[in-house]
Amino acid sequence: MNWEALEAVSAFIATVATLITLIYLAIQIRESNKLARSASLKSILDDFIEYTVVGHLNNPELSDIFDRGQMDFDALTQREKNSFASMLTRDVLQLQNIMQQHEHGLISDTDYQAWLAYISSQLISPGGGKCWKNMKNVITPTMVSALDDYIEKHPSAPSWIELFSHRYGNENSDGSLG
């Protein structure tokens, strides 16, 4: 075998080895991205469960304030308004985190849209809407735009009251909310 043939075989083997390495790395990166997306969603859900579900179960007064605030922000005491606004702000800021993760490909569009719908449902209720008008001054313009655009594009989307109040016993005997 001459040197030229040996060089050609060596070059071919090096090319095949490089391709195999690149394919392996692509598979590893894809798997790593899947794990990162899964971890991001788990973190968001864990945070939501800890703060909202467990927090409200451990402090029923918060649930009451949130329910009443969604229906009529002005009917709350000043202390309750502050609590309601804090809960709503926290949810909007969590959506900002979700939006950032969505932009980096760590949250699927389906999950992002679901969170956008959930937070928007809070902002279109009578009390949530009143609070949202005041909150806009302290929320990033990107978030304000995203939420206002979603609300504008989904005028018939149900409010938080329509989605959840009946599940929590906030219906009167005639079926109306209150």
| Distance, CA of 50 to CA of 58 (rounded, Å) | 10
pLDDT band at 177 (very low <50, low <70, confident <90, very high): very low
Tell me what the mean pLDDT of segment 168-178 comes to.
45
Residue 135 and residue 85 in contact, taking contact as beta carbons nearer than 8 Å: yes
CA 146/CA 124 separation, integer angstroms? 14
Cα–Cα distance for residue pair 175/178, rounded to 1 Å: 9
Examine the pLDDT at 175 and tell me if it is beyond 70: no
Token pair recorded at residue 157: 């989307």
Percent of the chain with pLDDT over 90: 48
- Tokens at 113, concatenated: 């849209």
Distance in angstroms (rounded) separating the CA atoms of residues 106 and 35: 9
Segment 57-113, tens digit of pLDDT: 778 898 899 999 999 999 999 999 999 999 999 999 999 999 999 998 888 999 999
Neighbouring C-beta atoms of residue 169, cutoff 10 Å: 7
CA-wise closest residue to 88 among 106, 105, 115, 66:
66
Can you read off the two tokens belonging to residue 158? 């149900």
The pLDDT value given to residue 1: 64
Q: Is the pLDDT of residue 158 over 70?
A: yes
Question: Mean pLDDT throughout 40-48?
Answer: 75
DSSP 91-119: HHHHHHHHHHHHHTTSS-HHHHHHHHHHH
DSSP H helical segments within the chain, as ranges? 3-48, 55-58, 60-71, 78-103, 109-123, 126-135, 141-153, 160-164
Query: What local confidence, expressed as pLDDT, does residue 26 receive?
Result: 84
Q: In terms of Cα–Cα distance, which of 109, 100, 97, 113 is closest to 149?
A: 113
> Where residue 173 falls among pLDDT bands split at 50, 70, 90?
very low
User: Other CB atoms closer than 10 Å to residue 99's CB: what's the count?
Assistant: 19
Which has the higher per-residue pLDDT, 31 or 113?
113
pTM confidence score: 0.72
Q: How much of the chain, in percent, has pLDDT values that exceed 70? A: 92
The pLDDT mean for the chain works out to: 85
Q: Which two tokens stand for residue 133?
A: 């008008």
